[in-house]
Amino acid sequence: MKVVITGGMGFIGARLGRALCDQGHLTDVSGQETSIDELLLFDSVDVPGLFNEREGNIQVKRVVGDISNWDTVRSLIDRDDIAVFHLASVVSGGGEKDFDLAMRVNLDGGRHVLEALRARESQPRLVFASSIAVFGGSRMPDVVGDHVKQTPQTTYGITKTMCELMINDYTRKGYIDGRSARLPTVIIRPGKPNQAASSFVSGVFREPLNGEDFELPVSVDTVMPLLGYRSIVDNIIRLHELEKNQLKDDRAVSLPSHTVSVQDMIDALNTAAGHRSLGQITVKPDPFIEQICAGWPQDCEHSLATSLGFSKEENLEEVVSYYIEDYL
Residues 20-29: tens digit of each pLDDT: 999 999 999 9
CA distance 173 to 167: 10
More confident residue, 57 or 295: 57
Based on the residue annotation, tell me whether 156 is a catalytic residue of this protein: yes
Amino acid identity for residue 106 in this structure? N
Architecture of domain 2-186+226-254: 3-Layer(aba) Sandwich (3.40)
Amino acid identity for residue 114 in this structure? L
pTM of the predicted model over 0.85: yes
Domain ranges of the chain: 2-186+226-254, 187-224+258-298+314-327
Q: 210-221 burial, b for 16+ CB within 10 Å, e for fewer?
A: eeeebebbbeee
Do 2-186+226-254 and 187-224+258-298+314-327 share a fold? no
What's the pLDDT tens digit per position in 133-179? Answer: 999 999 999 999 999 999 999 999 999 999 999 999 999 999 999 99
| Residues 6+ positions from 314 with CB-CB distance below 8 Å | none
What's the pLDDT tens digit per position in 85-129? Answer: 999 999 888 889 999 999 999 999 999 999 999 999 999 999 999
Q: Which residue is catalytic, options 156, 175, 229, 323?
A: 156
Closest to 286 (Cα-Cα) out of 210, 193, 183: 193
At residue 192, the pLDDT reads 86
CATH 3.90.25.10 fits 187-224+258-298+314-327, yes or no: yes
